[in-house]
Every structure is written in C-alpha cells, then in structure tokens.
C-alpha cells in the first residue's frame, strides 16, 4: 500500500488527555515527546502521534494517535517507549482522563 493509500484508508484513532500538575509540564512533555517520537519512528503501524497543548488549558495535554488498526495499537501497548512513559507520567499528573477510541474515515 502506498503512503497515499495508507493515509486514505480507515484508521484506528486514540485520543488520550492528561491534566498535568503545576510546574510539571516540562517533564511531562519530555516524556510524551519520547513516546511520540519512538512510536512514529519504531512502529510501522503508527501513522501519526501528535502531542497537543490546547490554548486556554495551560495544564492539559492531548495525544492524538493514528494507527493502521486496533492490532497496531495493541502492539504499541507492548513497546519499551510506552513503558518508559508509563513509568514517568504518574507523579506528573493530576489525572488521566478516559481514553477515547475512534475510526478515522478521512484522510
């Protein structure tokens, strides 16, 4: 499948949201960027992994992750970089909001 075909095929989307403790944003973003960078570089099934800081919500970080399939996301759950993130983030956050799963139809 070409990259263009892959981007237009339905994809499995994961949206995770975190409320970060005051003063902990730099450390949280460092851990999040490590996970995102390795997800896109090391996982063939990870199409996109955005780390988003919404305007007006200075303590919130959202992950927008796009995978080829649920199976590709399940493989992500077993990676060393996700394990590093799982070890790093608990003392940095107030809460992890419920993860949302979706199917992306376009692009």
23: domain CATH number is 3.30.70.100
pLDDT tens, residue by residue, 26-56: 999 999 999 999 999 999 999 999 999 999 9
- Kindly state whether residue 49 falls inside one of the protein's structural domains: yes
Distance in angstroms (rounded) separating the CA atoms of residues 9 and 47: 11
Number of domains present in the structure of the chain: 1
The whole-angstrom separation of Cα 39 and Cα 33 is: 10
pLDDT in tens, 9-23: 789 999 999 999 999
User: Domain containing 66: what range?
Assistant: 8-102
Q: Which residue has the tokens 């990676």?
A: 79
Would you say residue 24 lies in a domain? yes
Domain contains 61: yes
> Is the pTM above the cut of 0.85?
yes
2 located within any domain: no
Is position 1 within any domain?
no
CA distance readout (Å), 45 to 27, 73, 74:
27, 8, 10
């Amino acid at each position: 499948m070409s990259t263009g075909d892959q981007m237009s095929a339905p994809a499995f989307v994961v949206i995770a949201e975190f409320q970060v403790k005051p003063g902990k944003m730099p450390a949280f973003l460092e851990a999040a960027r490590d996970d995102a960078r390795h997800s896109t570089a090391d996982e063939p099934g990870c199409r996109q992994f955005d780390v988003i800081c919404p305007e007006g919500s200075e303590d919130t970080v959202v992950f927008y992750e796009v995978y080829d399939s649920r199976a590709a996301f399940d493989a992500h759950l077993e990676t060393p970089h996700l394990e590093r993130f799982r070890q790093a983030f608990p003392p940095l956050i107030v809460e992890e909001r419920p993860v949302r799963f979706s199917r992306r139809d376009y692009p």
